[in-house]
Amino acid sequence: MKSKWFVKPAMTLATAGVLYVAARLCAEPPDPTPGTSSIKTVAKVEEKNRVSVEVARDRAKLMHSVYEATLDVMHHRYFLRERSVVPARAMEDVFSEIKRQSDVDARWISVNLKAMSIDHEPTSEFEKKAAREIAEGKSELEAVEEGYYRRAGVIPLTSGCVACHAGLFRDAARTPKYAALVISVPVLTPPTPSNPDKPE
């Protein structure tokens, strides 16, 4: 059995590694394409953090993999019940740091189990639709709205997760349960004409 002296530094190192990888993915967007100097911002996001929808889609998929893998590793390697927080809660600290660095937002939402926190209830129309469709078997849903590319991806809940969310005697294998990870990446939007009916 690993000693606490080994586990705690290892957990810190693993989390730091995830922060570094995700920050590198998001903090250095490509140069804007010619003709985008007149593009208006839609939200309070620095222009340097806006990317094309194609880049946003690729980043969101990769970041989903990074976050899901980190959650899995923390569950299997570093979860000490006597003094640790739940791994999904620990990941929210990672989400906050990534958002601070890059304006990319990530959050958990409940799908077909009761949320353990009101913060995990689907709130927007996109999140509610994602929860419905993922519960029906869809693996992901995406949309571009309000200056963001949004992606909701499925997070399968294992027996250990279900034991907390639904009770010890639920059969996770017979009745699959899911959560979802929603990632929102700021994107470039086309300029809005001041008077679309007026001829050039």
Q: What's the order of all strands across the beta sheet hosting 105-110?
A: 105-110, 177-186, 148-157, 140-145
CB 183 within 8 A of CB 119: no
Name the residue type at position 84.
Answer: S
Strand partners of residue 153: 140, 181
CA gap 160, 50 in Å, rounded:
38
pLDDT at 91: 84
Residue 68, number of CB atoms within 10 A of its CB: 16
**Prediction pTM value:** 0.64
CB 61 within 8 A of CB 151: yes
Divide the 200 residues of the chain into consecutive groups of 10 and give the mean pLDDT of each group: 45 52 50 44 72 92 86 71 70 87 92 81 96 95 95 83 53 72 90 61
Write the DSSP string, 97-145: HHHHHHS-EEEEEESSS--SSGGGS--SHHHHHHHHHHHTT--EEEEEE
Alpha helices in the chain (DSSP H): 4-27, 53-77, 87-102, 125-135, 159-165
CA gap 185, 187 in Å, rounded:
6
